[in-house]
């Protein structure tokens, strides 16, 4: 019969795992960034049936090395420039390990007071670090909470917005009228997904046109669309402004959109999933212009650019009541005197799931290890490297640059003189495929005004100037190869 | 300026954290089970502002020990008998650590093939271990997926059910008619929460009466209620059957409820959050009677009784299409050849959030360390200890026992001759308060037929016979104290 792992066995195996991770982080650059694994390859290498008898932990580590690792895309590789970074860090990993070790479930305050109270402290700290409104702090009517992702946070914001817009009716009666939500063509797909989940449907997630130059939501178009919808009987529940879109880090005019929200009583949600943490640098706080005056909710992801391993999203609200009213249900077995006293926060009412991990530990570890100055230095390095890369691309006649790159993302594309847009797009995708197949680096792409652009996102802690210069060299090399192949 | 933690620094600090956890697990029994912390105490002991300068990691560990730990309720304490266990284990912690170390984001197959494929393998393995339908395996029309909680999994099941019931209309048009969901008075509150979230409202989460003896959902009542609702124009989208309710581990008659679902075309979701993993023992598979023939979806939590740290819920579906249709949205930047080939699974379409951690690693570590026989031994120990505890309570004239205790939960209460139900309930709650205040053990309570009952849930790996006997001794002692105090 297999036995439980004793604390002493855990001590020994745990140190081997720590060594394995330290070695992994040391050698991560030696792997192809994007896994070359083909569909089904990892699965085929694993047993078709579960083991009947227990196995030593070393067998897990051996299979991790030989079977799993070849199927891993190395998000911590210094030449990972795809999507947005999901930057891990030593203190983040260790904070997560402490959370796993304590094994605490913090669904309500009473099930582990420190899990709730440390979370309150670190989200308040982060609001201060980012210069967010004091109304977002927990000693006001608002407050912050850690979620697993910006998708979930935006869903919670939408539920609060619908609750407010319906005067609480939706919680009991469900959706009985037409409620609308406003996004731009550049808004993250999670907002449409949230619209489906809450039962208003994609049709009522109304897409406002973006300015063709800035790719920011056009307040005049928003006003016109809301006006028409209201005239047709719809209730405008929420507008989602994005600070730093996924595609190009476009920044919506929060204040101007907020004015429209006020006119129509709509909730203003600000999705700053990627960009929000950049506000740790005072010189970048302009990205949040209008947030203080107008935002009902705001979300950013320390797990993207702030060195805290996934998952760690923070959602703040200016008024926590509609959210709690929308989500709170108190079954008998969770009744307790602390909850009834009203003196404590029960974060289960601030999220979709009931259970919650002690995620505050990793954010706490990161904020303390780096301090405000360390976090600012990290963001500034990323911004400077992106600016340098953009300068080099701009100076190269073979490439076009999207001039808007205020943060760590640069969008650019090879020029294909004489090719149609469609052929140029295919050629750019061919370059991307060769780049990513090479394993030297990993980029992603987007479409802007019908053209395919490459996205290079800088932000991992291991990425240095040399990696960015090497990336440009590889991009030039593979662009030439595609060009030569076509001629 | 604070620097990133180097791999060598990580190696050193990581080993100190492993030592800290090993020591914690060794001494966990020395702490009061439930934290004696008062509201605001932890928060007041932490700095009001974030640090400007980075701090050594040892400072985090020191504060963890002195400031955080007194506010922690020790879920891994062998005398933690409250709620359901959230049992961690060495291999589970180490699997989570590996996930944090790799820092992979597995939103689609292409962003890390192994993250998706190992998940497919382990959920298929678990379906086999639990004797679940082969139609739940990924090589059929169905499949399994890891979620953060049973709440989220039931929400996903409900979205799939609504999609099917509306012929896909809800995804685009939203909710335009009356859709109903059926639960019993004993169903977990997450189903009502899910009903609110999807926009049908609490009023349309219809509560079927439970049999007063078994506390199981009454199929005749279900049929009557659905029939009346349908006659009134409602579309019955889903019935949630529970295998092992939170309150008393009551088991709904899945087959009989499934028959009603077939009559009305409703989706049958089976919530076996706590109890489902017990089916790893063949002699306990009777709990899933009817699942093979009737279940459209099924959820259980390895993070409750199967030694995998929170969060690790597994949701299976007999047909994955309606779920994917309800949730899939493909933005440009996530387009990739693997997705377009149709050969791979993109689990982002099987859940609410977009991002996902590499949670399969911890379930894999647990299944391999224990093997099937180790998992069966763990469940059997818990069932045997619960049976022994129940026998002792039954033999004690001072206590009443709820005779239904097929698994690790035993419900019982002191007898209070001569007291009204209300006074008896207050006296039982006074016993509970004293027990939990003592720090010796931690129980929770429920209400059954208007009476207050104490819940003793066994399932943590550290809990041995002595802890259960000590618990009974403490319960007797504090019951006497309350009785003496009243007379």
B42 in any annotated domain: no
A90 in any annotated domain: no
User: Cα separation of A23 and A14, whole Å?
Assistant: 14
Collapsed DSSP state (helix, strand, coil) of residue B315: strand
pLDDT tens per residue across span A129-139: 999 999 999 99
Helix B360-394 vs helix B113-129: crossing angle, to nearest 10: 30
In this structure, what is the dihedral angle of CA atoms A345, A350, A356, A362, given to the nearest 10 degrees? -80
B93 in any annotated domain: no
- Choose among B70, B105, B444: nearest Cβ to A310: B105
pLDDT, chain A, mean: 96
pLDDT score at A1? 41
B211 in any annotated domain: yes
A321 in any annotated domain: yes
Question: Which strands make up the sheet holding B444-448, listed edge to edge?
Answer: B399-401, B409-414, B451-457, B444-448
All residue ranges of chain B with pLDDT < 50 are: 1
Both B476 and B371 in one domain: the answer is: yes
User: 10 Å Cβ neighbour count for A340?
Assistant: 10
The conformation of residue B441, written as its DSSP 8-state character, comes to -
The conformation of residue B259, written as its DSSP 8-state character, comes to H
Query: Do residues B319 and B296 make contact, with C-beta atoms less than 8 angstroms apart?
Result: yes
pLDDT score at A338? 85
CA distances from B250 to A4, A310, B418 (A): 29, 37, 29
The number of C-beta contacts closer than 8 angstroms across A and B is 536
Of all residues in chain B, what percent are helix, strand and coil, respectively (each to 5)? 50, 15, 35
User: Cα separation of A93 and A21, whole Å?
Assistant: 10
Both B347 and B455 in one domain: the answer is: no
Both A337 and A383 in one domain: the answer is: no
pLDDT score at B1? 40
Both A327 and A211 in one domain: the answer is: yes
Contacts of A310 in chain B (CB under 8 A): 103, 105, 355, 357
Per-residue DSSP letters for A297-327? EEEE-HHHHSS--SS-EEEEES--HHHHHHH
Helix (H) or strand (E) holding A364: helix A360-394
- For chain A, how big is the Rg over CA atoms in Å? 24
Contacts of A343 in chain B (CB under 8 A): 39-40
- The last residue of a domain, from among B357, B390, B413: B357
Query: Do residues A175 and A200 make contact, with C-beta atoms less than 8 angstroms apart?
Result: yes
Both A218 and A251 in one domain: the answer is: yes
Query: Do residues A239 and A222 make contact, with C-beta atoms less than 8 angstroms apart?
Result: yes
Both A210 and A338 in one domain: the answer is: yes
Selected for mutation to probe chain A from B125, B174, B327, B359 (highest A CB count within 10 Å) is B174
Sequence length of chain A is 487
Both A140 and A216 in one domain: the answer is: yes
- The last residue of a domain, from among B323, B357, B391: B357
For residue B178, give the CATH number of its domain. 3.40.640.10
Q: For residue B274, give how far its alpha carbon lies from the nearest alpha carbon of chain A (Å).
A: 13
Selected for mutation to probe chain B from A113, A324, A351 (highest B CB count within 10 Å) is A113
A255 in any annotated domain: yes
Q: In the Cβ-directed half-sphere of B53, how many Cα atoms lie within 13 Å?
A: 4
Both B187 and B220 in one domain: the answer is: yes
User: Cα separation of A351 and A353, whole Å?
Assistant: 6
- Choose among A22, A103, A197: nearest Cβ to B352: A197
Helix (H) or strand (E) holding A123: helix A113-129
Share of chain A above pLDDT 70, in %: 99
What are the structure tokens assigned to B247, written together? 């309150």
Selected for mutation to probe chain B from A31, A177, A199, A360 (highest B CB count within 10 Å) is A199
Over B356-403, what HEC string results?
CCCCHHHHHHHHHHHHHHHHHHHHHHHHHHHHHHHHHHHCCCCEEECC
Per-residue DSSP letters for A400-453? EE-S--SSSEEEEEE--TT--HHHHHHHHHHHHHHHHHHTS-B-EEEEETTEEE
Cβ pair A371:B52 closer than 8 A = yes
Task: Name residue, tokens 């847009």.
Answer: A421
Contacts of B311 in chain A (CB under 8 A): 353, 355, 357
Among B386, B433, B76, CA closest to B244: B386
Query: Do residues B441 and B79 make contact, with C-beta atoms less than 8 angstroms apart?
Result: yes
Both A266 and A324 in one domain: the answer is: yes
Both A179 and A324 in one domain: the answer is: yes
Task: Report ipTM for this prediction.
Answer: 0.97
- Choose among B3, B87, B113: nearest Cβ to A37: B113
For residue A17, give the CATH number of its domain. 1.20.1340.10
Shortest CA distance from B8: residue in chain A: A22
Share of chain A above pLDDT 90, in %: 95
Task: Name residue, tokens 């001759």.
Answer: B417
First and final C-alpha spacing in chain B: 68
User: Cα separation of A76 and A81, whole Å?
Assistant: 10
pLDDT score at A188? 95
Beta-strand runs (E) in B250-390: 267-271, 297-300, 313-317
Both A381 and A300 in one domain: the answer is: no
In the beta sheet, which residues pair with residue B267?
Answer: B238
Query: Do residues B72 and A278 make contact, with C-beta atoms less than 8 angstroms apart?
Result: no
A61 in any annotated domain: yes
- Choose among B59, B117, B353: nearest Cβ to A43: B117
Contacts of B82 in chain A (CB under 8 A): 111
For residue A411, give the CATH number of its domain. 3.90.1150.10
Q: For residue A394, give how far its alpha carbon lies from the nearest alpha carbon of chain B (Å).
A: 23
- The last residue of a domain, from among B357, B389, B419: B357
For residue B404, give the CATH number of its domain. 3.90.1150.170
The number of domains in chain B is: 2
CA distances from A101 to A2, A52, B92, B96, B279 (A): 21, 27, 9, 10, 27
pLDDT tens per residue across span A52-89: 999 999 999 999 999 999 999 999 999 999 999 988 99
The conformation of residue A82, written as its DSSP 8-state character, comes to S
pLDDT higher than threshold 70 for residue A342: yes
CA A269 to chain centre: 15
**Helical residues (DSSP H) of B186-244, grouped into ranges:** 189-197, 219-231
Both B462 and B343 in one domain: the answer is: no
Contacts of A359 in chain B (CB under 8 A): none
pLDDT band at A340 (very low <50, low <70, confident <90, very high): confident
Instruction: Determine the structural domain holding residue B431 and report its residue range.
Output: 366-486
pLDDT tens per residue across span B209-248: 999 999 999 999 999 999 999 999 999 999 999 999 999 9
B436 in any annotated domain: yes
User: Cα separation of A129 and A374, whole Å?
Assistant: 12
In the beta sheet, which residues pair with residue A236?
Answer: A180
């Amino acid at each position: 019969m297999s036995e439980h792992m004793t604390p002493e066995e855990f001590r020994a195996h745990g140190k081997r795992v720590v060594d394995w991770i330290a070695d992994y982080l040391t050698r991560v650059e030696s792997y192809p960034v994007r896994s070359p694994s083909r569909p089904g390859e990892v699965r085929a290498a694993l047993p078709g049936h579960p083991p009947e008898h227990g196995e030593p932990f070393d067998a897990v580590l051996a299979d991790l090395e030989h079977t799993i690792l070849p199927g891993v895309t190395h998000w911590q590789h210094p030449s990972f420039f795809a999507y947005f970074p999901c930057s891990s860090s030593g203190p983040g990993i260790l904070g997560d390990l402490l959370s796993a070790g304590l094994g605490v479930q913090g669904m309500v305050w009473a099930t582990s007071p420190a899990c709730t109270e440390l979370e309150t402290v670190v989200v308040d700290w982060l609001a201060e670090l980012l210069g967010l409104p004091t109304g977002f702090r927990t000693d006001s009517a608002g407050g912050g909470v850690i979620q697993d992702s910006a998708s979930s946070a935006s869903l919670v914001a939408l539920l609060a917005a619908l609750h407010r817009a319906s005067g609480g009716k939706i919680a009991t009666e469900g959706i009985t009228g037409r409620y609308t939500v406003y996004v731009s063509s550049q808004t993250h797909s999670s907002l449409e997904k949230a619209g489906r989940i809450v039962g208003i449907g994609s049709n009522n997630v109304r897409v406002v046109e973006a300015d063709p130059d800035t790719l920011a939501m056009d307040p005049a178009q928003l006003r016109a669309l809301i006006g028409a919808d209201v005239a047709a009987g719809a209730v405008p529940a929420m507008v989602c402004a994005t600070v730093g879109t996924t595609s190009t880090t476009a920044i919506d005019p929060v204040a101007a959109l907020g004015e429209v929200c006020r006119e129509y009583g709509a909730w203003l949600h600000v999705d700053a999933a990627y960009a929000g943490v950049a506000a740790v640098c005072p010189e970048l706080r302009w990205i949040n212009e209008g947030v203080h005056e107008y935002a009902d909710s705001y979300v950013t992801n320390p797990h993207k650019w702030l060195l805290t391993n996934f998952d760690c999203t923070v959602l703040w609200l200016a008024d926590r009541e509609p959210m709690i009213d929308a989500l709170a249900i108190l079954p008998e077995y969770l009744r307790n005197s602390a909850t009834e006293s009203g003196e404590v926060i029960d974060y289960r009412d601030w999220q979709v799931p009931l259970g919650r991990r002690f995620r505050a530990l990793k954010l706490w570890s990161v904020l303390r290890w780096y301090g405000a100055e360390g976090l600012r230095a990290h963001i500034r390095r990323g911004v400077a490297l992106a600016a340098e890369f953009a300068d080099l691309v701009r100076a190269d006649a073979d490439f076009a640059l999207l001039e808007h790159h205020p943060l760590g993302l640069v969008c650019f594309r090879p020029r294909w003189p004489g090719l149609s847009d469609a052929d140029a797009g295919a050629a750019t995708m061919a370059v991307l495929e060769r780049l990513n197949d090479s394993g030297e680096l990993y980029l992603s792409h987007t479409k802007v005004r019908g053209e395919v652009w490459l996205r290079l996102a800088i932000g991992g802690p291991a990425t240095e100037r040399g990696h960015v210069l090497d990336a440009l060299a590889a991009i030039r090399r593979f662009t030439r190869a595609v060009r030569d192949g076509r001629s």
